[in-house]
Structure 1
Amino acid sequence: MVILQNKWWFLLINVVFSIVFFLLIAPIYNLYHFINSVFYVSYFYLMAALLLFVIKGKFFDAFTYSLRRFQNRMMKDQDLMDEWKTKKLPSEWVRPSVLKALFFQGAVLSFGMIVLLAYFYML
């Protein structure tokens, strides 16, 4: 797991994954389809990071809290050991290190894609 903690090794793994994805999916091996494969990988990371950013911003906490409260009131056989007030909310599950890592991977891969797009349109 040390490889995944180092952001540069993880970036190298993502570039290799983009190349493998390109080789498996592309109908024609050219720069256009390679840019598309980098797009798919980079925007997967950016969308996951944005979702975690929204969760970390406590957007879903009130909804989760109210559903737990509603469930507690409607249950006929309540478990007294189950404290719905003290359970972790979704914003408490997101670790900032994971959020930073996903943003970094998505941003660097997107920057690489933009550089490749600039090269592609200069040809």
Structure 2
Amino acid sequence: MLKNKWFLFLFNLLLSLILYLIIADEYNLLHYINILFYIGFIYALIFMIQYTMKGGFFDGITFGFRRFHHNLFNRDDYLEEWREKPLPSEKVQPSVYHLIIFQSVSLILVLVLLLIIYYFILH
């Protein structure tokens, strides 16, 4: 798992560099910082969604919709399989959750470091 985290981190940095070389009109540090922000923002957004799911926010809503769907279509299913389906908080895998946390925090730290370099040293 430790190797996967660092490999994915290096892959994200390489991806941001490739996108920088393809998209940027002129090559300066500010454009690279912007592209790195977009990639880090995607990871931070995925982390926040998983954190909300892990906390059980959507469990009650999901259970209510399943119960409503079951009552609305009034099936003669007495097993009530809808109660045994996993809730969204049970679907969050801890290994993926920790990987996303590591990626979002590390990309944000690199972003802050580059911003410090840009504003205090180069600008």
> Which TM-score applies when normalising by structure 1?
0.90
CA distance in 1, matches of 2:85, 2:3: 28
Pair 1:36–1:72, CA change in 2 (3 A): same
Q: 1:41 aligns with which of 32, 39, 42?
A: 39
- Bigger Cα displacement from structure 2, 79-88 vs 109-118: 79-88
Distance in 2 (alpha carbons) for counterparts of 1:78 and 1:49: 40
Change (3 A) 1:79 1:23: farther
Letter paired with 1:33: H
- Deviation, 1:77, is 4.0
Mark the runs of 5 or more structure 1 residues left unpaired by the alignment.
none
AA aligned to 1:72 is H
User: More helix by proportion, 1 or 2?
Assistant: 2
The secondary structure found in structure 1 opposite 2:81 is coil
Determine which of 73, 76, 79 is the counterpart of 1:75. 73
Instruction: Letter of the 1:34 partner, please give it.
Output: Y
Distance 1:5 1:56, change over 3 A: farther
CA RMSD for the aligned pairs? 1.8
- Supply the distance in 1 between the matched residues of 2:27 and 2:76 (Cα, whole angstroms): 61
Deviation per residue, 1:75-116 (Å, 9 max, x gap): 044445661111110111001111111111111111111111
Q: Is the 8 A contact 1:72 1:78 kept in 2?
A: no
Within 5 A, what are the aligned runs for 1:44-63? 44-63=42-61
- Report the counterpart of residue 95 of structure 1 in structure 2: 93
**Unaligned runs of at least 5 residues, structure 2:** none
Matched pairs, number: 121
Tell me which stretches of 4 or more aligned residues in structure 1 moved more than 3 Å. 76-82
Give the corresponding residue for 1:66: 64
